[in-house]
Amino acid sequence: MPPILQRLQQATKMMSRRKILLLVLGCSTLSLLIHQGAQLSWYPKLFPLSCPPLRDSPPRPKHMTVAFLKTHKTAGTTVQNILFRFAERHNLTVALPHPSCEHQFCYPRNFSAHFVHPATRPPHVLASHLRFNRAELARLMPPGTVYVTILREPAAMFESLFSYYNQYCPAFRRVPNASLEAFLRAPEAYYRAGEHFAMFAHNTLAYDLGGDNERSPRDDDAYLAGLIRQVEEVFSLVMIAEYFDESLVLLRRLLAWDLDDVLYAKLNARAASSRLAAIPAALGRAARAWNALDAGLYDHFNATFWRRVARVGRACVEREARELREARERLLRRCFGAQPVLRPATQIRTKQLQPWQPSRKVDIMGYDLPSGGAGPATEACLKLAMPEVQYSNYLLRKQKRRGGVRARPEPVLDNPPPRPIRALPRAPQVH
């Protein structure tokens, strides 16, 4: 072979060896990245890949006293269910409303410790609807109680309130064709401050937090600032419904709980047919303008939420949220079958799992146990999907038995609330 051809052949061999070498190098780097859990993340390399250790030295025990302010239509029932199950697993006492308050602490009245059933005092955990009253809660809850609440984007929240309370709230009932658009075009035409359940139609978050829902930040921005300050003084964590899993990561870190302690099934969700698929931008703006106090609260606490996430490490929070979602999916499959689906109450055979229905026009969904609920994990699965009304009744019965007050007559409240919102679930229609 002529020398020029020999040199060419050698050069080609060198090239392919270099290519192979490069290929091997590339593959091993990729597999290293995947095995380290970096998973080609979009986060800049500055963020830590693992979370800072949760447990301090000496290890912090799980925090056992929690007061959760359950605001309306903000995913609060799902959080309440997490807390109820935690309380049961750890043999804690849950504060529950006196029967004449229904399943809420005599909402919409200002909370009073008198609304708490005596068999559920002194409590470790409180998670039922109430209108916040700092002094009365401090009187009820043990020192060191951690206060937590949750907010939701005001336009989405208002759409949910409008649909859910359509038959209860006179301001909504007056609107022709139950049209959210008509209401938001001229809210003053339908709304009367001070009438029964008016708080469901105007700045519900501010009302639940103990504020004056008729104040407008446009006329009085100091009021909003003062309300924010009060919330910050009391609440160690304000969760955000849109970032539910991230909120649970912060919650479990705050309370030194395990990730398993905050697994959940989504509760109290409306069927797709009972909700607006998307809120048009103009409607969203109108909802925020009408609920300007709530919008101000949400914007502030949404910003502080993300600052807090950044302090823990955004990549770390996202990673834990991902772990939580994976564990939650496994749990749902174990409990509700290979393809766990939310179903309307009419398709739920297990009575204890039928969610309360606010009206014939709104479908609230729930889970059902497969094959009539046979299997070892049944009890835990039942509780995981148990709606608020059934779970509150169950806990009250259990705690009364524990306290030995079964035979005693219920103490009567001198001034019970006007009308309960939640009675028993609507009976399912048989097809």
Ligand X SMILES: Nc1ncnc2c1ncn2[C@@H]1O[C@H](COP(=O)(O)OS(=O)(=O)O)[C@@H](OP(=O)(O)O)[C@H]1O
Would you tell me which residues interact with ligand X (CB under 6 A)? 72-78, 160, 241, 244, 266-270, 275
Q: What does the angle CA 148 – CA 152 – CA 156 come to, to the nearest 5 degrees?
A: 160
Q: DSSP for 41-99? A: -SS-TTS-SSPPPSS-SSPPPPP--EEEE--TTSSHHHHHHHHHHHHHHTT--EE-B-G
CB 270 → ligand X: shortest distance, Å?
A: 4
Task: Count Cα neighbours of 333 within 13 Å in the Cβ-side half-sphere.
Answer: 8
Smaller CB distance to ligand X: residue 79 or 119?
Answer: 79
Smaller CB distance to ligand X: residue 73 or 215?
Answer: 73
Residue pointed to by tokens 């949760």: 54
Q: DSSP for 310-340? A: HHH-HHHHHHHHHHHHHHHHHHHHHHH-SS-
Exposed/middle/buried for 162, CB within 10 Å: 0-12, 13-18, 19+?
Answer: buried
SS3 content of the chain, % helix, strand, coil (to 5): 50, 5, 40
Smaller CB distance to ligand X: residue 76 or 217?
Answer: 76
CB 425 → ligand X: shortest distance, Å?
A: 13
CB 203 → ligand X: shortest distance, Å?
A: 15
CB 191 → ligand X: shortest distance, Å?
A: 20
Smaller CB distance to ligand X: residue 119 or 262?
Answer: 262
Smaller CB distance to ligand X: residue 181 or 220?
Answer: 181
Smaller CB distance to ligand X: residue 191 or 264?
Answer: 264
CB 241 → ligand X: shortest distance, Å?
A: 5
CB 31 → ligand X: shortest distance, Å?
A: 35
Q: How far apart are CA 75 and CA 127, in angstroms?
A: 12
